Structure 1
Amino acid sequence: MENQTAKLPKGVLHALIGQKKFSLARYEPSAGISYFVQHYWVVRWDLRTEQPHLQTVLAHPNVNLVFEKGASGIFGVARTTSSHLLKGQGQVFGVKFRPGGFYPFLNAPISKLSGTSTSLEAVFGVATDQLEKEVLSLPNDEQMMKRVEAFLFEHLPKPDPNVARISEIVRMIQADRSVLKVEDAVQLTGMNMRTMQRLFDRYVGVSPKSVIQRYRLHEAAEQIDQGTVRDWLDLSTSLGYYDHSHFIRDFRAIVGVAPNEYRQAQI
């Protein structure tokens, strides 16, 4: 079991504040299930002597299976940000599926899950409360991971070649900052635009445009958090926004505040 704990990943907004409030550990899945699962993650916090902390996240384009006391379920890709109130002491165990990796389990367009959640009963036919209690009662990350992997192996679908195909396209979009619009992704992959849009709806749950946009806004938020932004126009241009006002509109629409307001909130 390899722990990939490091700095908080992109998408955790105001990460410099967040890393003082909770810990995040990530673990590689076993070879037999890595076709579907990107990694496991565990968040823990102890704020018994502090005020509650509201953590906001701009999610990656992945479905997550989450075990949290009284709030377990399967969560589709959020369309904007989502916020989570951390108070007292607690923990969450999660399974982050590869982009497209949950489709073979659901066997229905992942877009049906976007911006919402569903129960383990609805997908796997098992009692959510019972499995939640069993997983969260285990004494360490390794045992929780083994129990959840055993559960997934019991319900493992056949590999779908489109999962690897879509997962690689999303990886390229994330890694290649020259991909600024859907046409760039089409040129990079050689895939027909309509085919790409159809596959993203079915396997990822959001459009290629949305995936590109959220990765670029991840970049923007990270640079703001790190204090490396000196000029808003330079930042917007580097992210592919040739109209600075368009960048501000997108940032506000997705993150909820303008870039300058976002920076002021962490001072």
Structure 2
Amino acid sequence: MINYTEIFPTRQELRPYIESYVILALHTTKINTKVFLSRPGATLLISSIPFSANKQTIETGVLLGISDGSKILNWKEMATARGLIVKFSPYGLSRFTDIPMEHLGNEALSASSVWGNSFRKTQNKLMETAHVTTQIEIAEAFLMKLFIKPNEIDKRIFRIADIIKTKDTCNSLESIIKEIPLSQRQIERRFKALMGVNIQTFNRICHFENVKSLLMEKQPISLTEVGYQAGYYDQAHFIREFKRFTAYSPKSFFEKAPFYRYISKLND
């Protein structure tokens, strides 16, 4: 059995930087592997049992930087496990550590190596309670203590990411860029420092995020239609990019990644 609950931030200050929290409770011996697919933002996973990421032991807390590929997490002989996932917005993680995001891109790191003893204490508190509201309160209190307020230039860089991610046709990227008192090269460097990837890679990740959303919809549509709606110019391009991000073809993905098959059923 899998209990999967997604909750949005309760603190107004965190909403631009945290997309959501996912509370997981798994009671099964059938799934001990989770494929974390690329998404336009970093991800923090806190688990009640140890696991490894891409064959590297990461204890019970892992920070996944924004990535243009998938990460495979494994639990050993899992029967029961609880977890909390924090899904950061594209630039969200940059507000909670002074480590440049480009150093975290495509990485899976022990969360305690980034936040030290304060994270370990928070993790212990989180795993001591099964009350969802209390877990969110603990997580948000931890994040608020770390919060770094952005300057005006960084806010404008954030706006570039928001426009790309949401396909906001009401705003022009060109006009936003002109408002930033930096050269094109400086803007690109700052974008990578705040997001973890360059603008071109970020755009590719956002296209893939659209694919995931369409594949998880209640009403199934053809793969051809998925590719078209997600913004790929032809089917071959769609399949090629999908394989780059997941190592699977679109047709075989749910067979090879059982956790996503279960989650898609929960959405029905």
- TM-score under structure 2 normalisation? 0.72
Equivalent position to 1:111, from 102, 105, 108: 102
Establish whether residue 204 from structure 1 lines up as the match of residue 195 from structure 2. yes
Within 2, Cα distance between the matches of 1:147 and 1:231? 41
Establish whether residue 251 from structure 1 lines up as the match of residue 232 from structure 2. no
- The answer to whether the 8 Å contact 2:4/2:22 transfers is no
Establish whether residue 131 from structure 1 lines up as the match of residue 122 from structure 2. yes
Within 2, Cα distance between the matches of 1:24 and 1:106? 27
Letter of the 1:59 partner, please give it: S
| Closer/same/farther in 2, CA of residues 221 and 122 from structure 1, 3 Å limit | closer
What is the CA-CA distance between 1:113 and the residue it aligns to? 0.7
Q: Deviations over 1:210-265 (max 9, x none)?
A: 22222222333443455644463x55444443354332221111121223333776
SS in 2 for 1:38: strand
Give 5+ residue unaligned stretches, structure 1: 1-19, 179-183
Equivalent position to 2:135, from 129, 138, 144: 144
Within 1, Cα distance between the matches of 2:223 and 2:20? 36
Q: How does 1:147-158 map to 2 (within 5 A)?
A: 147-158=138-149
| Closer/same/farther in 2, CA of residues 57 and 95 from structure 1, 3 Å limit | closer
Establish whether residue 66 from structure 1 lines up as the match of residue 45 from structure 2. yes
Letter of the 1:146 partner, please give it: E
Q: How does 1:218-237 map to 2 (within 5 A)?
A: 218-226=209-217, 228-230=220-222, 232=224, 235-237=226-228
Residue 43 of structure 1: aligned partner: 24
| Closer/same/farther in 2, CA of residues 223 and 263 from structure 1, 3 Å limit | farther
What is the CA-CA distance between 1:172 and the residue it aligns to? 2.2
Q: CA RMSD of the aligned region, Å?
A: 3.3
Residue 31 of structure 2: aligned partner: 52
Residue 77 of structure 1: aligned partner: 66
| Closer/same/farther in 2, CA of residues 158 and 130 from structure 1, 3 Å limit | same
| Closer/same/farther in 2, CA of residues 30 and 68 from structure 1, 3 Å limit | same
SS in 2 for 1:61: coil
Within 1, Cα distance between the matches of 2:158 and 2:185? 17
Q: How does 1:177-188 map to 2 (within 5 A)?
A: 186-187=173-174
Within 2, Cα distance between the matches of 1:46 and 1:258? 29
Within 2, Cα distance between the matches of 1:37 and 1:235? 27
Establish whether residue 194 from structure 1 lines up as the match of residue 185 from structure 2. yes
Within 2, Cα distance between the matches of 1:39 and 1:168? 19
Letter of the 1:251 partner, please give it: F
Equivalent position to 2:233, from 238, 242, 251: 242
Paired residues in the alignment total 240
User: Percentage identity across aligned positions?
Assistant: 17
- TM-score under structure 1 normalisation? 0.72
Q: How does 1:18-29 map to 2 (within 5 A)?
A: 21-29=2-10
